[in-house]
Chains A and B, each alone.
Chain A
Amino acid sequence: MTTTPLDNEQVLQLKQDFPLLTETQVAGHPLVYLDTGATSQVPLAVADAERDFTLRHRAAVHRGAHTLAVEATDFFEDARATVSRFVGADPYSLVWTSNATEGLNLLSYAMSNATAGSNGSEHAERFRLGPGDEIVTTQAEHHANLIPWQELAARTGATLRVVPVDERGLITPQAVAATLSERTKLVAFTHVSNVTGAITDVPGVVAEAQKVGALTVLDACQSVPHMPIDFPALGVDFAVFSAHKMLGPTGIGALYGRRELLNALPTFLTGGSMITKVTTEHAQYLDSPVRFEAGTQRISQAVAWAEAVRYLEKIGMDRIEAWEAELGGRLARGITEIDGVRLLGPAPGVERVGLASIDVAGVHAHDVGQLLDVAGIAVRVGHHCAQPLHRELGLTASTRASTYLYNTTDDVDRFLDELSRVRGYFRAEGA
Chain B
Amino acid sequence: MSAELDQLYQTIILEHSHKRSGETEQDVSSAGERSGVSHQYNPTCGDEITVRVAVTAGENPTVEAVEWNGEGCSISMAAASVLSEMAPGMTLPELEAMIEHFREMLRSRGQVAPDEEILGDAAAFAGVSKFVARVKCAMLSWVAVEDAVNQAASKARTT
> B53-61, B67-75, B80-88, B107-115: which one contacts chain A?
B67-75
Q: How far is the CB of A365 from chain B (nearest CB, A)?
A: 7
Instruction: Decide: A397 and B46 in contact? CB cutoff 8 A.
Output: yes
With the chains together, A383 CA to B18 CA distance in Å? 23
Write out the residue numbers on chain B whose beta carbons fall within 8 Å of the beta carbon of A374: 1-2, 4-5
Q: How far is the CB of A27 from chain B (nearest CB, A)?
A: 6
A381-431: which residues lie under 8 A (CB-CB) from chain B? 381-383, 387, 390, 396-397, 421, 425-427
The CB with the most chain A CB atoms within 10 A, among B9, B45, B137, is that of B45
Q: How far is the CB of A30 from chain B (nearest CB, A)?
A: 15
A366 beta carbon closer than 8 Å to chain B: yes
Q: How far is the CB of A418 from chain B (nearest CB, A)?
A: 10
Q: How far is the CB of B23 from chain A (nearest CB, A)?
A: 15
Given contacts A364-B74, A425-B1, A427-B18, contact A370 B46 (CB under 8 A): no
Instruction: Decide: A396 and B134 in contact? CB cutoff 8 A.
Output: no
A102-129: which residues lie under 8 A (CB-CB) from chain B? none
Instruction: Decide: A371 and B134 in contact? CB cutoff 8 A.
Output: no
Given contacts A364-B72, A426-B14, A427-B18, contact A370 B45 (CB under 8 A): no
Instruction: Decide: A383 and B46 in contact? CB cutoff 8 A.
Output: yes
With the chains together, A397 CA to B77 CA distance in Å? 15
Given contacts A366-B73, A382-B45, contact A426 B9 (CB under 8 A): yes
Instruction: Decide: A367 and B73 in contact? CB cutoff 8 A.
Output: yes
Q: How far is the CB of B112 from chain A (nearest CB, A)?
A: 22
Write out the residue numbers on chain A whose beta carbons fall within 8 Å of the beta carbon of B71: 396
Given contacts A426-B9, A426-B14, contact A366 B45 (CB under 8 A): yes
B47 beta carbon closer than 8 Å to chain A: yes
With the chains together, A268 CA to B102 CA distance in Å? 48
With the chains together, A390 CA to B134 CA distance in Å? 22
Total number of A residues with any Cβ neighbor in B under 8 Å: 21
With the chains together, A396 CA to B48 CA distance in Å? 10
Instruction: Decide: B74 and A426 in contact? CB cutoff 8 A.
Output: yes
Which one of B1, B45, B77 lies within 8 Å of A365 (CB-CB)?
B45
Write out the residue numbers on chain A whose beta carbons fall within 8 Å of the beta carbon of B9: 367, 425-426
Q: How far is the CB of B46 from chain A (nearest CB, A)?
A: 4
The CB with the most chain A CB atoms within 10 A, among B9, B46, B72, B137, is that of B46
Residue of A nearest to B72 (CB): A364
Instruction: Decide: B46 and A27 in contact? CB cutoff 8 A.
Output: no
Instruction: Decide: B45 and A397 in contact? CB cutoff 8 A.
Output: yes
Which one of A363, A371, A387, A390 lies within 8 Å of B1 (CB-CB)?
A371
Instruction: Decide: B2 and A27 in contact? CB cutoff 8 A.
Output: yes
A306-343: which residues lie under 8 A (CB-CB) from chain B? none
Residue of A nearest to B4 (CB): A374
Write out the residue numbers on chain B whose beta carbons fall within 8 Å of the beta carbon of A375: 2
Instruction: Decide: B44 and A370 in contact? CB cutoff 8 A.
Output: no
Which one of A364, A382, A426, A427 lies within 8 Å of B44 (CB-CB)?
A382
With the chains together, A421 CA to B9 CA distance in Å? 15
Interchain residue pairs A-B with the least CB separation, the first 4:
A366-B73, A364-B73, A396-B46, A382-B45
In the complex, besides A364-B74, A374-B4, A397-B47, 19 extra interface pairs with C-beta distance below 8 angstroms are A27-B4, A365-B73, A366-B47, A366-B137, A370-B5, A370-B8, A370-B134, A371-B5, A374-B1, A381-B45, A382-B45, A382-B46, A387-B46, A390-B46, A396-B47, A396-B48, A425-B1, A425-B5, A425-B9
12 contacts between A and B (CB under 8 A): A364-B73, A364-B77, A366-B134, A367-B9, A370-B8, A371-B1, A374-B4, A382-B44, A383-B46, A396-B47, A421-B1, A426-B74
